[in-house]
Amino acid sequence: MVRIGVLGVGFMGKMHFNCHRANPRVKVIALSDLDPKKLAGDWSMIGGNIADKRAAQVDLSGLRLYAPPSELFADPDVDVVDITLPTFSHAEYAVAALEAGKHVICEKPMGISLADCDRMIAAAKAARRLLFIAHCIRFWPDYKVLRQIIASGKYGKVVSATFWRKSLTPTWSWDNWLLDAKRSGSAIVDLHIHDTDYVNYVFGVPAAVCSSGVVGAVSKGGVDAVVTHYIYPRGPHVVAEGTWALAPGFGFTHGFCVVLEKATVEMDCRSGKPLTVHTLKGKTLTPRLPKDDGYVAELKHFVDCIGKGKGSDIVTAEDARKALAVCLAEEEAVKTGQAVTVG
Ligand SMILES: NC(=O)c1ccc[n+]([C@@H]2O[C@H](COP(=O)([O-])OP(=O)(O)OC[C@H]3O[C@@H](n4cnc5c(N)ncnc54)[C@H](O)[C@@H]3O)[C@@H](O)[C@H]2O)c1
C-alpha cells in the first residue's frame, strides 16, 4: 500500500485525489492546501475545463489536513507527495519534498524554467527518490493507441500529423495564476505542452520550431494562441495548435489527424466519434481503447513504479524537461518571428 499526501487541492488536486481513491493499492492519508475552506471539504469553488459532476462538499474525515506543506513533508507516514500546485511552485516544493525523503509525483509542466527542472532532477538524484511528471497525454487512450498504430508500421510511415488543443479562457485558477505568464508560462507552457510532449514522444525532439501566435490577448504578457510547425528534416510534417483564448461557451476540445502512407487516423474528443482509422483500401476501423483515462492510467503507473522502486519507462523527468525546452523555443519563435533551433 502506497501512502500519499496530495499537495494543492485545485482542479488537478481534486482529480488526483479522486483517481488515487479509486486505486486499491493507494491510500491518500493527507492533504495540504493553504485555503482553509478546501481543507474543510468545501470544494465548490474548484473550476476547470473538463466537466466534473462530483460532489462539491467532500468528507475529509480520517485525513490529515495540513495548511503549510512543510507539515506534510514532516509526516513520517507519507511515502509520496503528489504535487498539484500552480506551476511556478513545483520546483520549490518538489525539492523540499524530495529532501524530506519523499517520492514525488508532480503535475506537468515540470516547472516554469529549465533551471527549475534541473533543480528537481538534481534533488531526486541526491535524495535517491523517484520523481514522476504527470504528462497524461502519453497515457490517454486515443493517443496511446495512435502511438501503437504508428509504431506497428502496419500503415506505413507518417506523412503528416496535425494536433490541436483548444480551451475556453481559464479564469478559475487560484489567485488567477494561470493568466499570469510569469507564473504559468501561459498557453504554450500550460496547455499546448501536452501536444509538444506527445510530438517529442512519437517523433523525437524536432530539429527546430517555426511558431506564430497571439500575445497578451487574454493573459498578462503570455502567448495565448500558438501554431507550431515542428521541423523534422527527413519528415514527417508535424503541426500543432494550442489556444486558450476562446469564449466560455466553446468549452474544450483536443484531437488529431494523422496521415500515414496507407491510412488516415482521426480523433476529436467532442465529435462524439471514437478514434477512427480510414484505410486506403476503403475500410473504416474503430480500434478498442483502454478503459482508464489518462489521469487514472498515469497515476496507477507511477504508483506501480514506486511499488517496484523503479523509474517510469513511459515518461521520465528528462522527457518532461525536453517538453518544456521545446515549448520555450516555441515561445521565442512566436516573440521573435524566427525559427528556433532545438535538437
Ligand atoms: N494534466 C492536466 O491535464 C492538467 C490540467 C490542469 C492543470 N494542470 C496542472 O496542474 C497544476 C495545478 O493546476 P490547477 O489547475 O489544479 O490549479 P488551481 O489554481 O485550480 O489549484 C491550485 C491549488 O494550489 C493551492 N496552493 C497554491 N499555493 C499553495 C501553497 N504554497 N501551498 C499550499 N497550497 C497552495 C491553491 O489554494 C489551490 O487550491 C498546474 O501545474 C497545471 O499546469 C494539469
Centroid of ligand 1 to alpha carbon of 133 (angstroms): 14
Domain 2-136+296-315 has CATH 3.40.50.700: no
Position 53 pLDDT exceeds 80? no
pLDDT (average), residues 311-338: 98
pLDDT tier, 51 (very low <50, low <70, confident <90, very high otherwise): low
Could you give the 3-state DSSP secondary structure of residue 13? helix
Which residue's CA is minimally distant from atom 15 of ligand 1? 11
Encode pLDDT of 102-161 as tens digits.
999 999 999 999 999 999 999 999 999 999 999 999 999 999 999 999 999 999 999 999
Which grid cell is 105? Answer: 509525483
Q: Is the CB of 192 under 6 A from ligand 1?
A: no
Centroid of ligand 1 to alpha carbon of 175 (angstroms): 10
Position 35 pLDDT exceeds 90? yes
Side-chain-side CA neighbours of 202 within 13 Å: the count stands at: 31
Encode pLDDT of 81-104 as tens digits.
999 999 999 999 999 999 999 999
Which residue's CA is minimally distant from atom 17 of ligand 1? 10
Do residues 110 and 133 make contact, with C-beta atoms less than 8 angstroms apart?
A: yes
Q: Is the CB of 69 under 6 A from ligand 1?
A: yes
pLDDT tier, 249 (very low <50, low <70, confident <90, very high otherwise): very high
pLDDT (average), residues 231-243: 98
Which residue's CA is minimally distant from atom 14 of ligand 1? 11
Q: Is the CB of 185 under 6 A from ligand 1?
A: no
Do residues 78 and 4 make contact, with C-beta atoms less than 8 angstroms apart?
A: yes
> How many Å apart are CA 123 and CA 190, to the nearest integer?
23
Look at strands 223-231 and 208-215 and give their pairing.
antiparallel
Which grid cell is 108? Answer: 506537468
Which runs of E-coded beta strand occur in the chain? 2-7, 26-32, 64-66, 80-83, 103-107, 131-134, 158-168, 208-215, 223-231, 237-246, 252-260, 263-268, 276-279, 284-285, 340-341
In this prediction, residue 47 carries a pLDDT of: 83
pLDDT tier, 343 (very low <50, low <70, confident <90, very high otherwise): confident
* CA 177 to ligand 1: nearest atom: 19
> How many Å apart are CA 304 and CA 295, to the nearest integer?
14
Q: Which of the listed CATH numbers 1.20.120.1770, 3.30.360.10, 3.20.20.410, 3.40.630.30 matches domain 137-289+323-341?
A: 3.30.360.10
Centroid of ligand 1 to alpha carbon of 107 (angstroms): 8
Percent of the chain with pLDDT over 90: 94
Centroid of ligand 1 to alpha carbon of 191 (angstroms): 13
Domain range annotation of the chain: 2-136+296-315, 137-289+323-341
In this prediction, residue 45 carries a pLDDT of: 87
